[in-house]
């Protein structure tokens, strides 16, 4: 590819060309046959937008809030591990890009720059204003170590704790098995003091992660931190109701980008069920997985998501041009989203309602034709 990227998929193509096969394989792959990875993306194409016309769209704003914090766009950054494999500045570069565009950056537990250094880098970028950082937590068997991590991120200025619940064990990513993937030696897990389980290979295999994590632990987290709690990986209405009952503040509807349980629905397909289950509560619902276009963002918001999170496109942008590359990815999808809003006749995110979309199967040519045809030739009785 010789020209500059003009859509998010272009960043993926560039990353495939520039990164070592094992690194690209780690970033790109999903679990097993990667059917859920593909389904996440395809789901967006099976939903169509019904635009309103002759709406004054001279001024369109993409601004919104999440957990009370203002962001310039509902497109936020999902936690992804090991940014150091894409760029030497690693998570610091990603966080700076988010700070400069005033959106939310979610730091992964297994990052290559520490939560304190990353926050400081972003703060400097945003001219000393507090950047909006959330911290993604993998809960470890050693609860004392987990508690210390939570307290550190609270002290460092992080505004929410995102507890990932869809990874009691690691999904089988075939590319990683083929490449015997592990974190390159020169990189460390900067939120920890190195030991066996938290070496690059150990963290990836999940040596320290606690598979016994359950709802009782959510109560424990609420007792050790004042930070709002967001659960990442909720997939069914019943579990969303339990989340409300346990007093969580937000839910990220996620299947880990198709990297864990292959063969489950796309996140967009289950989003309405979750939105419905939390109706009447203050819990905010977000979604990730397969979002690659401005129209995808529009569709997710129309189905009730307050914001969306991007995973892979961010690391591809980082591999392309570091901080600038992440900014390019976010700016491009924000531009597309604003354009989609204008073309659909929506001037602000709260105006994007379910009424704007329709499943493609409900509007097939066969159905439209049958409707029209039956009216035209139906005999008058
Ligand atoms: C390379 C990579 C690393 C990831 N690391 C983490 C992680 O450390 N913690 C976590 O909760 N989710 C992790 N995820 C999942 C993302 O947070 C997110 O759910 C997913 O990437 C969204 O799908 P998308 O990549 O299609 O945008 C990772 C995803 C990828 C692709
Ligand atoms: C270090 C990994 C376990 C991070 C992760 O969640 C992933 O690769 O999907």
**Distance between Cα 308 and ligand 1 center (Å):** 13
User: Binning pLDDT at 50, 70 and 90, where does residue 1 land?
Assistant: low
Q: Which atom of ligand 1 is nearest to the CA of 162?
A: 11
Residue 209 near ligand 2, beta carbon < 6 Å: no
Taking only the tens place, the pLDDT of each residue in 287-346 is 999 999 999 999 999 999 999 999 999 999 999 999 999 999 999 999 999 999 999 999
Entry pTM: 0.96
Nearest CA to ligand 2 atom 9: 259
Task: Calculate what percentage of the chain has a pLDDT beyond 90.
Answer: 88
Does 288 show up as a binding residue in the annotation?
Answer: yes
User: Binning pLDDT at 50, 70 and 90, where does residue 207 land?
Assistant: low
Report, as an integer, the average pLDDT of 251-279: 98
Q: Pick 1 or 230 by higher pLDDT.
A: 230
Report, as an integer, the average pLDDT of 156-185: 97
- Residue 325 CB partners (closer than 8 Å, separation 6+): 11, 87, 316, 317, 318, 319
- Residue 173 CB partners (closer than 8 Å, separation 6+): 25, 26, 29, 30, 31, 181, 259
Does pLDDT of 370 surpass 90? no
Contact by Cβ (8 Å): 78, 135: no
Answer whether residue 262 is part of any domain.
Answer: yes
User: How many structural domains comprise the chain?
Assistant: 1
* Catalytic, out of 133, 186, 256, 373: 256
**Distance between Cα 215 and ligand 1 center (Å):** 22
Nearest ligand, CA of residue 173?
A: 2
Window from 22-31, 135-144, 369-378 with minimum mean pLDDT: 369-378
Does 311 show up as a binding residue in the annotation?
Answer: yes
- Residue 42 CB partners (closer than 8 Å, separation 6+): 266, 290
Nearest CA to 41 out of 268, 200, 246, 247 is that of: 268
User: Binning pLDDT at 50, 70 and 90, where does residue 201 land?
Assistant: low
- Residue 60 CB partners (closer than 8 Å, separation 6+): 338, 341, 342, 346, 347, 348
Answer whether residue 243 is part of any domain.
Answer: yes
User: Binning pLDDT at 50, 70 and 90, where does residue 381 land?
Assistant: low
Please confirm, yes or no, whether 69 is among the known catalytic residues: no
Nearest ligand, CA of residue 78?
A: 1
Answer whether residue 269 is part of any domain.
Answer: yes
User: Binning pLDDT at 50, 70 and 90, where does residue 202 land?
Assistant: low
Taking only the tens place, the pLDDT of each residue in 90-126 is 999 999 999 999 999 999 999 999 999 999 999 999 9
Residue 298's domain is classified under what CATH number? 3.20.20.70
**Which domain does 240 fall in, by range?**
12-372
Answer whether residue 1 is part of any domain.
Answer: no
Answer whether residue 365 is part of any domain.
Answer: yes
Does pLDDT of 248 surpass 70? yes
Nearest ligand, CA of residue 290?
A: 1
Answer whether residue 260 is part of any domain.
Answer: yes
Nearest CA to ligand 1 atom 6: 80
Answer whether residue 6 is part of any domain.
Answer: no
pLDDT of residue 128: 80
pLDDT of residue 203: 65
Cα(71)–Cα(211) distance, integer angstroms = 34
Cα–Cα distances in Å, from 6 out to 14, 50, 212, 298, 308?
12, 25, 44, 19, 21
Residue 27 near ligand 2, beta carbon < 6 Å: no
- Residue 71 CB partners (closer than 8 Å, separation 6+): 63, 64, 65, 102, 103, 104, 132, 307
Report, as an integer, the average pLDDT of 183-207: 77
Does pLDDT of 198 surpass 70? no
Does pLDDT of 38 surpass 90? yes
Residue 189 near ligand 1, beta carbon < 6 Å: no
Residue 39 near ligand 1, beta carbon < 6 Å: no
Answer whether residue 379 is part of any domain.
Answer: no
Report, as an integer, the average pLDDT of 19-28: 98
Report, as an integer, the average pLDDT of 81-93: 98
């Amino acid at each position: 590819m010789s020209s500059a990227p003009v859509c998010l998929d272009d960043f993926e193509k560039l990353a495939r060309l520039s990164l070592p096969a094992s690194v690209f394989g780690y970033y790109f792959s999903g679990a097993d046959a990667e059917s859920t990875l593909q389904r996440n993306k395809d789901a967006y194409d099976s939903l169509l937008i019904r635009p309103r016309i002759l709406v004054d769209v001279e001024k369109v704003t993409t601004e919104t809030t999440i957990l009370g914090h203002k962001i310039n766009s509902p497109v936020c950054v999902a936690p992804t591990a090991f940014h150091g494999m894409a760029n030497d500045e690693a998570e610091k570069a990603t966080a700076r890009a988010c700070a400069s565009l005033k959106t939310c950056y979610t730091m992964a537990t297994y990052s290559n720059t520490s939560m304190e250094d990353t926050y400081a880098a972003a703060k400097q970028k945003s001219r000393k204003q507090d950047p909006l950082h959330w911290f993604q937590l993998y809960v470890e068997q050693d609860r004392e170590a987990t508690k210390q991590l939570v307290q550190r991120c609270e002290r460092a200025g992080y505004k929410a704790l995102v507890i990932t619940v869809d990874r009691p064990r690691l999904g089988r990513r075939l590319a990683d098995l083929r490449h015997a993937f592990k974190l390159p030696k020169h990189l460390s897990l900067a939120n920890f003091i190195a030991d066996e389980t938290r070496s690059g290979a150990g963290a990836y295999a999940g040596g320290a992660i606690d598979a016994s994590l359950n709802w009782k632990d959510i109560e424990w987290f609420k007792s050790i931190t004042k930070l709002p709690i967001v659960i990442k990986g909720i997939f069914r209405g019943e579990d969303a109701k339990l989340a409300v009952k346990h007093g969580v503040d937000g839910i990220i509807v996620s299947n880990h980008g198709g990297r864990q349980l292959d063969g489950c629905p796309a996140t967009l397909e289950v989003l309405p069920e979750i939105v419905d289950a939390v109706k009447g509560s203050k819990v905010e619902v977000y979604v990730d997985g397969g979002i690659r276009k401005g129209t995808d963002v529009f569709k997710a918001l129309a189905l009730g998501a307050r914001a969306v999170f991007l995973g892979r496109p961010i690391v591809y942008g980082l591999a392309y041009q570091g901080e600038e590359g992440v900014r390019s990815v976010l700016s491009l999808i924000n531009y597309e989203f604003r354009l989609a809003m204008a073309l659909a006749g929506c001037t602000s995110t709260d105006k994007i309602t379910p009424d704007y979309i329709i499943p493609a199967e409900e509007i097939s040519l066969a159905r439209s034709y049958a409707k029209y045809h039956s009216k035209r030739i139906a005999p008058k009785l």
